[in-house]
Structures are given as C-alpha cells and as structure tokens.
C-alpha cells in the first residue's frame, strides 16, 4: 500500500487481517519507532457505548505489568476510524505455528499455554476478562515466547451483535457454553477457551471443529469434551482428564484459574497410566453420558439381547482375529460392550486382518502376505469404538454414527475391508 497517515502514524504496509479489523506496520512520526496498528471495522464505532468501553479496557490492559501481554501504546479514533497502537512483534500467530508445525509435543504445548495462562491470570486479578482467547490472538516468536493480544477489543456485546457479518465465526470454536446461553463472560470463560487452545496445541485440530457456527455451538453446549488421546494415542491419558475438566459445561466444575489448568497439564506429563487390561492395552476413559437416558437404555437392552444369542462369523471367516474386550469396572455398560463386540465379531470377523483381502470377492489380493494381527474392539454407548492391533504404536479410532471404511498405514492400523454401519456403539 502507499504510505497513508492515521493521526501521527504513517501506515507502511498491511501485515494481517482478522474478523475485527486490519493490522498495519506503521511508523510513529513523533517517537520515530515502528509500531503495529490495528484499525477496527467501521461498524464498531456506531455501536452504542463501544468506543468508551474499548478505550477503558484497552488502557486498563496497558497498565498491566505482565510480559506476555502486548502493551497498548494508544487507543483512539480519528475521522471515524477506531484504532489501537501496539509494539511490532517479530512473530506469527499460533494458528500459523500449528499449520506449519502440526501438533506440538506436550512439553511445547504446556510451555505456550503456560505463558498465555499467566497473562490471563494477571488480567483477571485486575478485573479484566479477555473474552476472545484463541490462536489468532496469541503471537509466538521464533523462541516460542508467547504474547496475548487484543485486550479491550472483544466484548460480549460485539460477540452477539455482529454475528450476521460473519466476523466472529472463528470465535465460536473457543467460546464456553454459557456464552451461548446466559451470555455470561467471566474469567472462567477465558479458562475454558485456554483449555480449547491446549487441546488444539496437543492435537493440531480445533475442538468441535465443524463446517460452521451451528455445529460448533452444538458441540460446546451438548457434547462431551473431546479426548486428546483419541487423536494422538501416544499422549499420556491424563491429558484427557485435564481437557475434560478445563472444558466442563458447568463453570464451577472447571479449573478456577488458568494456573490450575497449566499445573494439571504439567502433572499429566508424569502421571502414571491407568492399569492395563488382560491384553496389556490401556483402558480408554469412559465418556460422560450425554445422550437421552431412554435412548441409552434402549441401546443397552438391544445389545444385551443380542449378546444372549450365540453369534459367530459367517462361514469361511476365521473367528480368531477378534478378541472381545474384557472390562470388569464399567458397571451397567458391560452388557452393551459385550453385545457390540459380539455383533462386530459375527459380521466382520475376518476383515480385521493385515493380510490384504478383497472385500468384494473374498479372494486374496496380490502382493506379499502379512501375518494377521489379533485385535479387540471396545464399544461405547457414545458411538466410540477403539481398535487396537497387537503392534506398536496402538491406535484408537473414534467412530461416530454412519458408514465408514478405514485407511491403512503400514504397521499401525487394522484394515477394515468392508463398510460397516456404526450406531450407538454397535456395528450393523
């Protein structure tokens, strides 16, 4: 862009865009230093009370003495343009880091989240709530020093009044359930969002990622928090509990400070794994029951009825490839687990094998033979099925309702050679 002036600042070039405005590299013509200026969207200026609230919160954030909060030099409006002036940070936002590097190691994820959590706790102790914690608002330098930006820009009124413009779509992926129901935006909502960021750092994907706002709202309001180990099986299983509590639907059940969340994540690195079952496989944590009780009871009854009748594999299909799960501590779910496993064994027994077999003709496909791998299936009333081979690393595959066919990575996963329909933890 050609050089333009905004108050005493000479805009040099555009360096970023977001839902709330455009960021420019600029020169402060009085202090002769380079700065970053975010020019906010024009419609914000017309919102009643927004400009005053924006100034008040921006300058409150500027008074914070926290190294991981980008200081605010100035917040003002000129000729109807609302802008905020900050230091020019030599770094990229966390979304760029994750797109470039993929999922982080647990140690690196905790390192980044720890810094953001320190910034949030400092703000909360001064009565400030960020309300828009998400990867685009976290800047990371080449040395993984993290900054939290945009204090004073996001607010509850903005979140709810500008949805028609599509400017807050990215925010839906990190908003606590109460933001969609009661509209409450307190520090526990920031902690929830930080737990979402932790999940994304660990897995490389956003929790409840969907094609739009309705899917994300549904996930945050009604679905159990996602388990990081479902995406990255090599993670310590204690991270599942950390994310589950951090993203609890009830704010009172969450970690009450970001420091508590970070310390729990740090402890998860060295927490002992749960006892192995008789197969030596780590037992997956049970999902909270979020389906209607009537539906759960109906599925349980159907599974128990099927498990009472002998079920075997179709003729010509070897049955030794499927080993039913052995759970002794899942209470009333045992019947469902056994029934679902029996259904699977009876219908697709021989198809879980590493020696490739054509799923249409049943004849062996050309190529070198591979030794079959024994496996067992753990079914869950939340339609979560885990498939583990007897090879390392073990792989958990969460299977939602619908038709599925697996893909294969040599030595890591079992091949499913036919489509199978999964519903409520059962295959049909």
pLDDT digits (tens, 9 = 90+) for 218-252: 999 999 999 999 999 999 999 999 999 999 999 99
Tell me the C-alpha distance between 379 and 341, whole Å: 7
CB atoms within 10 A of CB 293: 8
CB atoms within 10 A of CB 243: 25
Query: And the tokens for 15?
Result: 């360096």
Higher pLDDT, 229 or 315: 229
Q: What percent of the chain has pLDDT over 70?
A: 58
**Contact predicate 242/198, CB 8 Å:** yes
Tell me the C-alpha distance between 149 and 165, whole Å: 22
Q: Distance of CA 40 to CAs 7, 49, 81, 330, 367, Å?
A: 15, 15, 7, 53, 61
pLDDT at position 376: 36
Tell me the C-alpha distance between 386 and 389, whole Å: 10
Angle at 229 between CA 227 and CA 234, to 5 degrees: 165
Higher pLDDT, 359 or 274: 274
pLDDT of 428 above 90 = no
Give the pairing of strands 386-388 and 9-18.
Answer: unpaired
Q: What is the mean pLDDT of the chain?
A: 70
pLDDT at position 57: 74
pLDDT at position 19: 66
**Contact predicate 384/287, CB 8 Å:** yes
pLDDT band of residue 418 (cuts 50, 70, 90) is: very low
Q: What number is the average pLDDT over the span 118-142?
A: 94
Coil/strand/helix, residue 427? strand
pLDDT at position 3: 61
244-302 pLDDT per residue, tens: 999 999 999 999 999 999 999 999 999 998 866 555 555 444 333 333 333 334 444 44
pLDDT of 404 above 70 = no
Question: Catalytic residue positions?
Answer: 132
**Contact predicate 23/17, CB 8 Å:** yes
pLDDT band of residue 1 (cuts 50, 70, 90) is: low
pLDDT of 117 above 50 = yes
Query: And the tokens for 392?
Result: 């390392």
**Contact predicate 201/112, CB 8 Å:** yes
Full strand arrangement of the beta sheet holding 426-427:
402-404, 420-423, 426-427
- CATH code of domain 4-87: 3.30.200.20
pTM: 0.62
In the chain, what are the domain boundaries? 4-87, 91-268, 293-427
> Can you say how many angstroms the Cα of residue 171 is from the centroid of all Cα atoms in its chain?
13
134-160 burial string, b = 16+ CB within 10 Å, else e? bbbbbbbeeeebbbbbbbbbbbeebbe
pLDDT at position 153: 61
Tell me the C-alpha distance between 315 and 182, whole Å: 58
pLDDT at position 412: 38
Q: Is the peptide bond before 393 cis (omega within 30 degrees of 0)?
A: yes
pLDDT at position 212: 76
Least confident of 33-42, 48-57, 164-173, 271-280: 164-173
pLDDT at position 374: 38
pLDDT of 44 above 50 = yes
pLDDT at position 417: 32
DSSP string for residues in 294-361: HHHHHHHHHHHHHHHS---PPTT--STTB-----SS-GGGHHHHHHHHHHHHHHHGGGS-SS-B-TTT
DSSP string for residues in 87-132: E--SEEEHHHHHHHH-SPPHHHHHHHHHHHHHHHHHHHHTT---S-
pLDDT at position 216: 85
pLDDT at position 397: 46
pLDDT at position 276: 60
CATH of the domain spanning 91-268, picked from 1.10.1200.10, 3.30.559.30, 1.10.510.10, 3.40.50.10860: 1.10.510.10
Q: Is 83 exposed, middle or buried (0-12, 13-18, 19+ CB in 10 A)?
A: buried
DSSP string for residues in 20-73: TEEEEEEEETTTTEEEEEEEEPHHHHTSTTHHHHHHHHHHHHHT---TTBPPP-
Beta bridge partners of 138: 148
pLDDT at position 64: 85
pLDDT at position 20: 74
CB atoms within 10 A of CB 232: 16
> Can you say how many angstroms the Cα of residue 291 is from the centroid of all Cα atoms in its chain?
21
pLDDT at position 410: 40
Query: And the tokens for 28?
Result: 């402060």
154-209 pLDDT per residue, tens: 543 444 333 334 333 337 889 999 988 887 889 999 999 999 999 999 999 999 98
Place of tokens 């905020």: 84
């Amino acid at each position: 862009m050609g050089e333009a002036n905004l108050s005493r600042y000479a805009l040099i070039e555009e360096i970023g865009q977001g839902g709330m405005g455009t960021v420019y590299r600029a020169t402060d013509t009085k202090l002769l230093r380079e700065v970053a200026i975010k020019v906010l969207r024009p419609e914000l200026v017309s919102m009643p009370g927004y400009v005053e609230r924006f100034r008040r919160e921006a300058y409150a954030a500027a008074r914070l003495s926290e190294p991981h909060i980008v200081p605010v030099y100035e917040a003002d409006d000129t000729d109807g343009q609302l802008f905020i002036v900050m230091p020019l940070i030599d770094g990229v936002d966390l979304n760029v880091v994750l797109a470039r590097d993929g999922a982080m190691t647990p140690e690196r994820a905790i390192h980044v989240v720890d810094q953001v959590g320190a910034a949030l706790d400092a703000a909360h102790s001064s009565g400030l709530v960020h309300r828009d914690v998400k990867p685009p608002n976290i800047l990371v330098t080449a040395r993984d020093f993290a900054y939290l930006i945009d204090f004073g820009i996001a607010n509850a009124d903005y979140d709810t009044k500008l949805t028609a413009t599509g400017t807050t779509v990215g925010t839906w992926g990190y908003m606590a359930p109460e933001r969609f129901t009661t509209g409450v935006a307190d520090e526990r909502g920031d902690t929830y969002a930080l737990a979402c960021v932790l999940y994304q750092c660990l897995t490389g994907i956003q929790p409840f990622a969907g094609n739009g706002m309705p899917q994300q709202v549904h996930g945050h309001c009604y679905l159990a928090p996602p388990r990081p180990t479902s995406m990255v099986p090599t993670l310590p299983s204690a991270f599942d509990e950390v994310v589950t509590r951090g993203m609890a639907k009830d704010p009172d059940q969450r970690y009450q400070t970001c420091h508590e969340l970070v310390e729990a994540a740090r402890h998860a690195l060295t927490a002992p794994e749960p006892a192995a079952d008789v197969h030596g496989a780590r037992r997956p944590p049970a999902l909270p029951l979020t389906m209607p009780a009537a539906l759960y009871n109906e599925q349980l009854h159907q599974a128990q009825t099927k498990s009472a009748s002998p079920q075997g594999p179709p003729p010509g299909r070897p049955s030794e490839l499927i080993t039913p799960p052995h759970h002794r501590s899942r209470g009333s779910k045992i019947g469902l687990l056994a029934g679902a496993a029996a259904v699977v064994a009876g219908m697709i027994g021989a198809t879980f094998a590493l020696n490739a077999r054509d799923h249409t003709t049943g004849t062996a496909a050309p190529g070198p033979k591979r030794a079959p791998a024994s496996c067992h299936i753990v079914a869950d009333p939340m339609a979560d099925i885990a498939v583990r081979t007897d090879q390392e690393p073990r792989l958990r595959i969460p299977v939602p309702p619908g038709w599925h066919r697996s893909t294969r990575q040599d030595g890591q996963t079992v091949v499913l050679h036919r489509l199978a329909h999964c519903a409520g933890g059962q295959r049909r």
